[in-house]
Amino acid sequence: MGAVAARARAPFALPLALASALLGCATTSYERDLALATAAVSAGDASLDRAADSLAARVETLPPGAPEKALLLLELGSLELRRGDLTAAAARLEVADPLLDVVDLTKDPEGELSSWLFADAARPYRAPAYEKLMVNLLGMASRAATRDWRGALVEARRFAVVMRYLRDVEGLDAGGLERLAQALSAAVHEAAGRDGEARRLSVEARGETFDPKAPPAALPAEGGQGELVVVVLSGVLPRRVAQRVSVEEAARRARSPGTAKSLRQQGVSELDLVTLAGASGATEPVVTLDGAPAALLRADVEALARATFEQAAPTLAQAALTRAMTRSAVEGGVKGAGGSRGGTVQLASFVGALMRGSDVPDTRAWTTLPAKVALLRVGLAPGAHVVTVGDEAREVAVEAGRVHVEVVVTR
């Protein structure tokens, strides 16, 4: 190829190499692992065992800094929880938790650059607030159900610290999720002998203001009673998917209507944007206690996920529009530098095709996360009691002065 073409190619060599290195085969392998996890959740039973074993082996082969490791650990924790291995689930979530902190808080200028020039998938994964909170909520529930009260206390404190930051600094309203976690945390503190904190959390879980001077209210496991806590996890969140839309629709979502006309003039008519699949269809099962309907605290994780996504949608659309304009500018720049030379025209086409092929929408998310969470917390007379969640009935033994926690997962 001629000297002019070589000079034209030089300014774009580094960004193209960066895109290739960042996107590589990691996305493909992650998508394959994710497909295995989501299929297992749909099929249940033996498929969960096979998928969990396969993902566990896959995680072991990943280096410490692998960008997909945190997400695969989250998916693996969900699978372990669904197949009833709560100890393994808690361990997987605990390992993933600090990885999410690193991924979420570390500045990554190369990833930021590539997200605007090549693909959102080029940047490190940033866990949305609800995923970070659910790590600690599910970890707390898993450890409480195995009577690991010390570990459950740690998870309760982590949830409280993260929730306080997200509420006070980021302005997040987690609604029912925060109150549900407070109720579970209250039971954990009660089981650990921290009655004062348990009373405060119990009051705040009801949406009331705690008054330390008020006469202390009785806790469920006091007065000769025992306490039963049931955490019900239902469904899975809708997946993030790539959707082909017109440049006009992309500009509308980005709140940048003038961009569409400019792209049309450059020959660009459609873009790939990330969207959420349709409603999960998750239904909350009927929960009864000793044959009577149970009063539950409920949290709609799916609604929180959708609200979070809608808030980010304009930025994602704007990034996609910027990448499209960058590709057109780069391709035009290569052509302009080489005039009408055949080799330069071929290079321009190659550059444009490579950048289009590298434009991978970021569909990464914790996709096996439950869509709905419900919690039952009640004081009961000591003895055997039957909790029914949907079609599943469990007999539980309640002991005076003690807290018993069950975790039930439904599809």
- Per-run averaged pLDDT (10 residues), the chain, 411 residues: 41 44 51 76 77 88 82 92 94 91 40 47 74 96 98 97 90 91 98 96 95 92 96 92 91 89 87 84 90 96 92 87 77 54 49 52 87 97 97 96 96 78
CB distance 273 to 245 below 8 Å: yes
Length of the chain: 411
Model pLDDT, residue 110: 42
Distance CA 400, CA 384 (A): 12
Query: Which pTM value belongs to this model?
Result: 0.82
- Region of residue 371 (left: phi > 0; alpha: psi -120 to 50; beta: else): alpha
- Of 162, 88, 91, 82, the C-alpha closest to 127 is 162
Work out how many domains the chain is built from and give that number. Answer: 1
CB distance 48 to 40 below 8 Å: yes
Spatial strand order in the sheet of 392-398: 292-293, 287-289, 383-389, 392-398
% helix, strand, coil for the chain, step of 5: 55, 15, 25
Distance CA 287, CA 390 (A): 6
- Of 14, 50, 64, 7, the C-alpha closest to 334 is 7
Range of the domain at 337: 3-410
Distance CA 385, CA 379 (A): 12
- Of 88, 85, 144, 81, the C-alpha closest to 404 is 144
Which helix (H) or strand (E) segment is 395 a member of? strand 392-398
- Residue 60 makes CB contacts below 8 A (sequence gap 6+) with none
Q: How far is CA 349 from CA 155, 327, 335, 344, in A?
A: 53, 10, 9, 9
